[in-house]
Chains A and B, each alone.
Chain A
Amino acid sequence: MKAAVIVFPGSNCDRDLADAFERASGRRPAMVWHKETEIPAGTDIVGIPGGFSFGDYLRCGAIAARSPIARAIVDFARRGGMVIGICNGFQVLTETGLLPGALMRNAGLKFICRTEPLIVETTDSPFTRNYARGEEIRIPIAHHDGNYQVSEAELAALRDADRIAFTYAHNPNGSVGSIAGVLSENRRVLGMMPHPERRVDPAQGGTDGLRLFTSIVDALAPA
């Protein structure tokens, strides 16, 4: 598996995400600077990490979605490439239009960092195949703007198409339908607010996040 991790000047989970990919696949991802205009040839999956890409002084992820590399990510996804965006990466994905909806300020208006129980809503995706449907997993969240909103019609469409990947067991931020992560129509783009890369080693307090990365590795393994 060949992964590429995007680095914006304010990314601060890029190393953690690269470590998680490496732990699952045994291969160090390429780190791709935001001023690049192409995804490295042969890339299987692009990871957009958490952080504050351009300080998030405008809407979170808005400037990143207009950076040179964002265009390359959109092309890559449209050609069927796999993309995962975590936290700020999820915000970037909604800003590019690769995923529906928007991430608003948390309902309580404060930054929240704690480990939350999530429900795995679907295993029909290359990101969640190694979980069980309905399984509860514990993954940290750390965000100020994780309140996911889509219109009622879009929500119904997401549900009908089984595109909700994860929900919160106890909605911490006001997200519609308690949504923590959603899939693209072709199921190859995932955006999620929680940080699976912070739960890949028992020393971190659990390994519930590791199976997301091994799912990706398994999905990409030659059959």
Chain B
Amino acid sequence: MQEPKITDEIVAAHGLKPDEYQRILDLLGREPTFTELGIFSAMWNEHCSYKSSKKWLRTLPTEGPQVIQGPGENAGVVDIGDGQAVVFKMESHNHPSYIEPYQGAATGVGGILRDVFTMGARPIAAMDALSFGEPDHPRTPRLVHGVVEGIGGYGNCFGVPNVGGETRFHAAYNGNCLVNAFAAGLADTDKIFYSAASGVGMPVVYLGAKTGRDGVGGATMASAEFDETIEEKRPTVQVGDPFTEKRLLEACLELMETGAVISIQDMGAAGLTCSAVEMGDKGDLGIRLDLDRVPVREEGMTAYEMMLSESQERMLMVLNPEKEDVARQIFEKWDLDFAVVGETIAEDRFLVFHGNELKADLPLKALSGEAPEYDRPWVEPPAPAPLGEVPEVDPVDALRILLGSPNYAWKGWIWEQYDTSVMADTLRGPGLGAGLVRVHGTDKVLAFTADCTPRYVAANPVEGGRQAVAEAFRNLVAAGARPLATTDNLNFGNPEKPEIMGQFVGAIKGIGEACRALDMPIVSGNVSLYNETDGEPILPTPTIGAVGLVAHIDEVIGALPEDGQIALLVGETAGHLGQSALLAEVFNREEGDAPPVDLEAERRNGEFVLENRELVAAATDLSDGGLALAAFEMAEAAGIGVTIDADGSTAFLFGEDQGRYLLAAGFDQAEALMVRAAEAGVPIRAVGRFGGDTVRLGEAEAPLAELSDIYRNTFARLFGDP
């Protein structure tokens, strides 16, 4: 088939800037073929090349004694003792989810699960961090229903428990929703699989589902802003098949047991192109592909389409040739495609044949190594508007408003559509801080959390970056887990705008500082830029996914207080109301600075909670909505009331000072905690007690049942019955 001639329009349609195209011409010393241009666009778009973010990502801490594999592989690998490792990553599927919510979200889940099991790990937990526009925006309900059903539809069938996440609503996401999917798996440390090819003349094997035309150009689409032509982009969204993914999981794990796998890489963004280049590049080898041998589900696909297809549930593997028969049998058993489609070669070339014609002949290393890298201009974001006077509120009235907002209402409407207990190891599902999953067959417990407060990042990127990590740290600690490591999913607007780039640079600085101070290195992550529609950017949203370990199940700190227990507030309360939930939801004001994060105090207070866990009956961290919301959520989950009577001021009840926990403890234990806190120099204060059937904040009170009714029914009121 005759390929189209390269024109300026074709180059522009591939998202390549004129200077980037010139770079290609210089590199090749000739004009690329159409297929080659497609390969370059796939490798050099923002999504795959990190060309705007690389410079700053390098500044993040990625090492530690617990880290087995940091960023750069399909997922990060962290030691959890006894020869076991947790393998995890978080990745966005924002652009596709906005265009086609069900399939966009479903394939986001599929992609992240594949990243984990490609490394030899069986997925054991999933989480999702979602950001939507205002509830009454015409597009929002369809996105909420579609995204939640898509996540459930894929994860439930695959059979991985969903154990947490977060969901927010804000006008800044009206034109771009965010779907950040996290997955973690369990592997033996001596059975981790990597993507670097090795050995010349080794067979390159295609595994899994057949290749179709879906998702052609998806990665390029995800590297551009949206405008009114968005509906035309639906064909760039992939279609997911969780049943195939489940079979691919089982077949891959079975295959890995046989010693047949030299290296393996899932086909995600820019499918065959990215996976082949990745394996060759890391192994310092060339790759030759024969597209006539690729299993296809459509007639007449061109080389260009096959190289750029993002059909799901596919893998590429370099096979130990002695094991070809056993490998083929495993894939036949699971009714999956298995085809030798190429081989590794010694030369640094990427050769693509189709119909006995050479369709691409490119220097392989240059495809990733010579990708453009930008030091984009950036400016410090403007200082946030100063915080004006905040009038005193009736605290129970203010709480009612928070509970009636989908940002702070009970989110069971969402997570009850997810299987949270499959695999039978879930100790704590969504809704009670960190999710807890027992390491199957052991007494160890892994804790998972995903956090970010975009209002803070927008007001003060550095402080907001620190806060996202600190909140993740606290959520893990409150469950009794020692934080191990993090994955970052950085969602921002157009990096070509200096003020957006300034948000990015600031947030990375804050995240890096906090990860160092709290000993939570970054082991994997993903950057999603160009989250803008008609020039309107999202709030900067660097989602932090974090994993912690509880050495023994008996050391888990409970989440549910009991009648009569004392409410203890750990950490310093100054009453910071700038950028608070109260200010946003009750007064519709987004003013003031983000709350300052004292990383030393974070660490000290966290250590105090962990060291004294045997005295603590239940714990939660304080974040959005401050003490009032934390106390309500904790008590409501246990079905009891709570009284906070130490101070009835708005700043005390709703301030969002960082580094704080709310603990429930029996009388004697509370006394002991106060003594030990004084010794450790940790601020602590008894602020009230749990129990009864009313919620009392200062002088104001309301029946628990009335508040619970608001809290539990907000989602159904806004989005219909689940």
Contacts and interface: CB of A to CB of B under 8 A. Distances in A.
Interface of A: 9-10, 12-13, 15-16, 19-20, 50-52, 54-57, 108, 110-114, 140, 142, 144, 195, 197-198, 200-201, 203-205
B65 interface: no
Contacts of B244: 55
18 contacts: A9-B246, A9-B247, A12-B158, A12-B246, A13-B422, A15-B423, A19-B424, A54-B243, A55-B157, A55-B243, A111-B149, A111-B156, A111-B417, A111-B419, A142-B420, A144-B156, A195-B421, A203-B553
Contacts of A195: 421
A108 B716 CA distance: 12
B361 to A, nearest CB: 40
A10 B418 contact: no
Contact of B152 (A12, A15, A111, A198): A111
A113 B421 contact: yes
Nearest to A19: B424
Contacts of B425: 204
Interface string B236-261: 00000111101100100000000000
Interface residues of B, number: 34
Nearest to B244: A55
B159 A13 contact: yes
Given A52-B246, A111-B156, A203-B553, A9 B421 contact: no
B503 interface: no
B228 interface: no
A203 B438 contact: yes
Nearest to B250: A9
Given A51-B159, A52-B157, A113-B418, A9 B243 contact: yes
B250 A55 contact: no
Contacts of A13: 159, 422, 424
Contacts of A112: 416-417, 722
Nearest to A17: B424
A16 B419 contact: no
Contact of B417 (A113, A197, A201): A113
Contacts of A15: 423
Interface string B422-442: 111111000000000010000
A142 B422 contact: yes
A140 B246 contact: no
Residue from A10, A20, A56, A201 having most chain B Cβ neighbours under 10 A: A10
Given A111-B156, A113-B420, A10 B243 contact: yes
Contacts of A51: 157, 159
Contact of B421 (A20, A55, A140): A140
B246 A10 contact: yes
A140 B420 CA distance: 10
B416 A56 contact: no
Nearest to B336: A9
Interface in B303-338: 334-335
Given A52-B159, A56-B157, 12 more contacts: A12-B246, A12-B423, A52-B246, A55-B243, A56-B243, A110-B417, A111-B149, A111-B418, A113-B417, A198-B421, A200-B424, A201-B424
A198 B421 CA distance: 7
Contacts of B246: 9-10, 12, 52
A54 B246 CA distance: 10
Given A108-B722, A113-B418, A52 B424 contact: no
B600 to A, nearest CB: 35
Contacts of A200: 424
Given A54-B243, A108-B721, A113-B416, A16 B157 contact: no
Contacts of A197: 424
Contact of B419 (A55, A108, A113, A205): A113
Given A12-B158, A55-B157, A114 B416 contact: yes
Residue from A108, A197, A200 having most chain B Cβ neighbours under 10 A: A108
